[in-house]
């Protein structure tokens, strides 16, 4: 496997930017491709291959449904395995969610009830997936719009136990932490503090959210990935860097996709925060 330090932050690979990224090397650390967009073959796959020859690439899954109660889809795993072999990604990630059950699926990331049975199922699926693709995966915390009753674990307890059982890593989405904390009424800083600090956090995601008013008059924070990173998320990010060290970081932007330069500038802001936090550490050490 290629070794990448990923000291520079990355951006999500979006189709409007592919040509520009191939025409000349952009000033970014890495690119994250949504695995399912490149299933099969043809032109999209060839372009991703070219991208992977110019930039470090990570593969981010949105459809495997690791939390489903009725077993993983073998064909889906076959497609990801094939991509992993072709693209040699730095990380392979997926979500602490589910999106399919009993042959019915949704193009969304659905919440998991943090009960013992769900942990058994999720851990078994992570182990199966890692075994079949022959490498560690990293699992991302979701954005939550509601909560289940009668739970055995908090989300952070569930994530910590998952890592302990499977040896997977974590992808902490700082924006999702902020969104969920607002929606479910907990402290985002406590969430970050509750994740064990032993090298299990392998990557951060940063993105912009949107605040909407619901039909019932309530306020909801939505993880829309359509705006710049909010100041509170930058602050949480700096806190997470202090806790977990200098972890590779990615800017996600999926809706109202801006020009490539805007995304590169957002990634550069993340680099600035990383430099600042590293400086604080050196100051303390001195």
Partner 1 sequence: MTALRDIQAAFMHDIYTGEQTSAIFLDASASSPARLSIYSNNTALGLADVLANAYPVVKRIVGEEFFKTLARHFLKAHPQPAGNRHMFGGDLATFLKGFVPASALPYLSDIAALEWAYFQSSIADDAENIDFNGLTAAMSADPAFVLALHPSVHVIEQSYNALDIWQEHQKAEPSTIQLTQEERTLVVWRTTDDSVLIRKASPAFASLLDCCQKDISFAEAMTIAGEGVHDMNAFQQEFAEAVILRIFARTKKETYS
Task: Point out which residues bind partner 1 (CB under 8 A).
Answer: 36, 39-46, 63-65, 68-70, 73-79, 81, 98-108, 110, 113, 115, 117-118, 121, 145-149, 183-185, 214-216, 218, 220, 222
Measured from the CB atom, the residue of 146 and 285 that comes closer to partner 1 is 146
Q: Report which secondary-structure segment, H or E, holds 104.
A: strand 104-110
Q: Residue 24's CB: how many other CB atoms inside 10 A?
A: 8
Which letter does DSSP use for residue 33 in this model? Answer: E
Q: Please state, in angstroms and as integers, the Cα–Cα distance from residue 83 to each residue in 23, 28, 42, 59, 67, following that order.
A: 23, 22, 13, 8, 22
Measured from the CB atom, the residue of 3 and 43 that comes closer to partner 1 is 43
Measured from the CB atom, the residue of 181 and 267 that comes closer to partner 1 is 181
In the complex, minimum distance from the CB of residue 230 to partner 1, in angstroms, rounded to a whole number: 20
Collapsing DSSP to helix, strand or coil, 276 comes out as: helix
Measured from the CB atom, the residue of 122 and 230 that comes closer to partner 1 is 122
In the complex, minimum distance from the CB of residue 234 to partner 1, in angstroms, rounded to a whole number: 26
In the complex, minimum distance from the CB of residue 215 to partner 1, in angstroms, rounded to a whole number: 5
Collapsing DSSP to helix, strand or coil, 182 comes out as: helix
In the complex, minimum distance from the CB of residue 55 to partner 1, in angstroms, rounded to a whole number: 22
Measured from the CB atom, the residue of 62 and 263 that comes closer to partner 1 is 62
Classify 40 in phi/psi space as left (phi over 0), alpha (psi -120 to 50) or beta.
Answer: left
In the complex, minimum distance from the CB of residue 115 to partner 1, in angstroms, rounded to a whole number: 6
**What's the half-sphere exposure (Cβ side, CA atoms, 13 Å) at 145?**
16
The radius of gyration of the chain from alpha carbons, rounded to an integer in Å, stands at 18
Q: Report which secondary-structure segment, H or E, holds 91.
A: none
CA angle 251, 96, 104 (to 5 degrees): 110
Q: Report which secondary-structure segment, H or E, holds 10.
A: strand 10-12
In the complex, minimum distance from the CB of residue 79 to partner 1, in angstroms, rounded to a whole number: 7
Token pair recorded at residue 66: 């690791």
Measured from the CB atom, the residue of 29 and 111 that comes closer to partner 1 is 111
Measured from the CB atom, the residue of 3 and 102 that comes closer to partner 1 is 102
CA-wise closest residue to 35 among 89, 97, 100: 89
In the complex, minimum distance from the CB of residue 281 to partner 1, in angstroms, rounded to a whole number: 37
């Amino acid at each position: 496997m290629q070794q990448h330090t990923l000291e520079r932050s990355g951006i999500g690979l979006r189709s409007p930017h592919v040509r520009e990224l191939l025409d000349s090397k952009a000033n970014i650390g890495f690119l994250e491709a949504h695995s399912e967009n490149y299933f099969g073959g043809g032109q999209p796959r060839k372009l991703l291959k070219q991208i992977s020859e110019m930039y470090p690439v990570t593969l981010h899954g949105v459809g495997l449904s690791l939390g489903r109660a009725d077993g993983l889809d073998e064909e889906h795993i076959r497609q990801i395995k094939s991509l992993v072999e072709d693209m040699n990604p730095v990380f392979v990630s997926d979500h602490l969610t589910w999106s399919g059950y009993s042959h019915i699926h949704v193009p969304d990331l659905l919440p998991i009830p943090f009960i013992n049975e769900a942990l058994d199922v999720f851990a078994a699926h992570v182990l199966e997936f890692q075994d079949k693709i022959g490498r560690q995966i990293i699992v991302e915390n979701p954005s939550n719009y509601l909560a289940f009753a009668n739970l055995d674990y908090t989300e952070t307890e569930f994530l910590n136990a998952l890592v302990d059982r499977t040896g997977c890593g974590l992808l902490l989405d700082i924006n999702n932490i902020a969104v969920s904390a607002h929606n479910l009424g907990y402290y985002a800083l406590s969430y970050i503090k509750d994740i064990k600090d032993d090298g299990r956090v392998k990557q951060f995601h940063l993105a912009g959210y949107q605040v909407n008013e619901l039909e019932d008059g309530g306020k909801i924070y939505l993880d829309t990935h359509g705006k710049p990173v909010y100041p509170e998320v930058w602050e949480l990010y700096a806190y997470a860097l202090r806790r977990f060290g200098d972890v590779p970081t990615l800017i996600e932007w999926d809706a109202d996709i801006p020009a490539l330069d805007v995304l590169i500038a957002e990634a550069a802001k993340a680099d600035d925060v990383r430099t600042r936090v590293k400086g604080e550490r050196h100051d303390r050490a001195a």
